[in-house]
A and B are shown apart, each in its own frame.
Chain A
Amino acid sequence: MNAIRLFWKRLKPYRTRLALLLAVVGPGIITANVDNDAAGITSYSVAGGNYGYSLLWMMPLVLITLIIVQEMSARLGIVTGKGLADLIRESLGVRLTTLILSLLVIVNLANTVSEFAGVAASMEIFGVSKFISVPLAAAGVWLLVFKGNYKSIERIFLIASSIYLAYIVSGILAEPDWLEVGKAVITPSFDFSFGYVMMFITIIGTTISPWMQFYQQASIVDKGIKVEDYRYEIIDVVVGSIFAVVVAGFILIACAATVHEKGITIETAQDAAMALGPVAGKYAQTLFAIGLLNASIFSAAILPLSTSYSVCEAFGWESSLSRDIKDAKIFFVIYTTLIVLGASIILLPIKSLIQAMMASQTLNGILLPIILIVMLHLINDRRLMGDFTMSRWFNILVWITAIFLILLAITLMILSISPGLFTS
């Protein structure tokens, strides 16, 4: 007995270190999980289904960029102890803050729409009309935040989101030509068609979405992670990012190996569900529907909440219910409006829910470079960051990403005006 106790004592330094790691880990991994939201799943499915393996080479690049960007937001949160909206207001003044946050609200509204589109699409698989499912989901989400215990519900969502691990299994069971997959990962290809450029921006926009930066930083600030624990947070960020991109890659592979091989273009949620065929067989649709519904509702709850917090934080409006509802009425108005608008837009006659979801992610990709440049500005502010400013190489990498994204956005705009410009 004593020997065991002695051994346990001797382990103490390691135990402390492990405890520290576990205490810090969370924001990065949760962010990564929320990252694979309804629109994300859809985008990867469509990318695989319509373009086969040809977009796979983006994934390693997206992973590196994702790690760098999430690390930036983690570092900003840990060192300053403030949220991103807070820092933007304090460093850039009222006008720029208003501009950036207005854009964020618009883009996040589009994202909220896409989450409700996810609800509609998944419930249509079960034969439930969107006129029933969407209002119900909207009311549920609204009540969840004001009446429920968000913290415990978050865990349920997180566990449920592991349903998407089925994609990894099905990606393997679909027996793709691994040689071809490997070749696709290392062979860059590009195509100046409108659809391809849009797909490109969409993949980046959905994996490294602007609102995730606000979300992760807020969650790190909320957790009160200290500067001493910074290196543990990096582990959190890297593990989370790898997880997110690996799942994304396998969704793409699964869809490429099944849907694309059959020459089908993904138009509906049922098409995307087909990719799960190898693992789930006839239950593929059910599995896909449950996963999509879970991801949609999870994000539909977080997105409006995170947006309202950001806006109230930036403009100094009360964002807690510490006193009365009437004291936090701006918060209520923004939150409620986002949910009501997001849900009603889906009830309009929209031909393809999948198209609606993708469009929001394209908007993400267009807003992203602006957020990146703002983050760069903040993270290089020595008064704010002390010794934690970014190294020159990281700066260059992020600048390249931002400029590349801006060029892509411009290309997309030109292509939308004259589609054949680069190909003819």
Chain B
Amino acid sequence: MPYASQLMSRPIADLDGEVIGSLSEIFAQQIGDISHPKIVAIEAKKGSRSLYISIHDVVALIAPAIALNKRKKDIRPYKPGENDLYLIRDVLDKQIIDTNGVRVVRVNDLEITRVENDFFIANVDTSSSGLLRRLGLSAISKRLPSKGKRGTESGIISWEDVELLSGDQPMRLKVPGEKLAELHPADLAEILSDLSRQEGRDIIESLDIETLADTLEEVEPDFQVSLLEGMDDERVADVLEEMEPDEAADLLAELPEDRSQELLELMEDEEAEDVRKLLSYPVDTAGGLMTTEYITIPPDITAEQAMAILREQGEDAEVYYYIYVLDSGEHLIGVLSLRELVIAQPQTKISDIMVKRVVTVHLEDSQDECAQSVAKYDLVAIPVVDDDKVLHGIVTADDAIDKIIPTAWKKRLPRLYH
């Protein structure tokens, strides 16, 4: 298959065989539902003069000399519009996001394919053999053992799995992120950590509040702060409301006092109240780690009634495997697993089936103690109580273990300089 780099600098000759210039730019457009951009024009450059030629005037594009079907004087210069991609200026040699392999890669070449009489950009070549080809050393690359694999391993990425970075995008892609929004937030976070902060900020600008909140939860607090810099306070407050209260509290704790107070003012009272409470505990204690979103029921209702409450509250709860039973004074008197609730007879009283010896941690217990209890009793979450056994929140297993076993991508090289 031909490559964009091979077309570069090839002579362009008109109907009379006169050389107008050499190819210096390729314009492409995404048309209709076809996910691959179609080549619509080329630029011929001679000295400082340049001429944009529509693809309709080209007889043979993939040829040692590109032939036109018009005389030079008859050519009506092509006018690039807002939707035109400048393949050489904006794509070749630039960084792109490979949404399939979840990584940021550099474009070494663009593979062109012919479908009937049209030319499309089929794949993006990020491989080392693409690099060697550009250096005029393709002889070496042919001798290299071919892995015979396609996909991320080979470095050939279908255009369908490519997202351009916003800085280099034409108008059409000003609302990017279609492909990005479909990624798992953890993957999105990984891509953000691959990009420079400025590029990262551009991407998060384009995400909707919900995706942004989910993604930020996957990122280290100090990196969160740098991503949120420059975003207006209203939007940050919206994102904080959307985040789990414990994550929001962690983020706010990283910000300067003035700013975090301002943001709390902007948040809705209910959410702000939860976050304020969490902020008052030291970060590495059960109080600092816990979240306030969980399901509680009174002891004197039936299993059937409990299920009804579950349907109502379940939406917001971070963990719904456990249902905590509180008396009228908010004291934790029992716990029930989701399974126990589901298999119970509808008319059974909760107080008859709940487990009364509840494993808990105290507000001031350390993260280590939380992690150990979670591991010892095989829990998904552990309730946090004060001296009077009043329930204040729950610490989920992932938060408890998080700082002891860091998530995989935290092991990335230290950010080099700061």
Contact = CB atoms under 8 A, between A and B. Distances in A.
A326 to B, nearest CB: 11
B409 interface: yes
Interface string B134-145: 110000000000
B15 to A, nearest CB: 32
Interface in A215-261: 215, 218-219, 221-224, 226
Given A27-B417, A322-B190, A90 B226 contact: no
Interface stretch (A109-117, A280-288, A311-319): A311-319
Contacts of A83: 196
B418 A218 contact: no
A81 B196 contact: yes
Interface residues of B, number: 36
Given A93-B93, A318-B103, A321-B411, A224 B198 contact: yes
Tell me whether chain A's interface is mostly helix, strand or loop, or mixed: helix
A151 B418 contact: yes
A316 B190 CA distance: 16
Contacts of B386: none
A241 to B, nearest CB: 18
B221 to A, nearest CB: 15
A395 interface: no
Given A81-B198, A89-B93, A322-B409, A315 B131 contact: yes
B418 A316 contact: no
Contacts, number: 95
B140 to A, nearest CB: 13
Contact of A320 (B167, B194, B199): B194
A30 interface: yes
A305 B413 CA distance: 10
B134 A95 contact: yes
Contact of A316 (B108, B199, B226, B413): B108
A306 interface: yes
Contact of A221 (B131, B190, B196): B196
Interface residues of A, number: 41
A400 interface: no
Given A224-B196, A320-B412, A322-B409, A219 B417 contact: yes
A80 to B, nearest CB: 8
A150 interface: yes
A321 B198 contact: no
Interface string B197-222: 11101000000000000000000000
B118 interface: no
A19 interface: yes
B372 to A, nearest CB: 25
A93 B92 CA distance: 9
A149 interface: yes
18 contacts: A81-B196, A83-B196, A90-B93, A93-B93, A94-B131, A95-B134, A145-B413, A150-B414, A151-B414, A221-B196, A222-B418, A224-B229, A306-B416, A316-B105, A316-B108, A320-B412, A322-B190, A322-B194
Given A89-B106, A316-B95, 5 more contacts: A94-B134, A222-B416, A316-B108, A316-B126, A320-B194
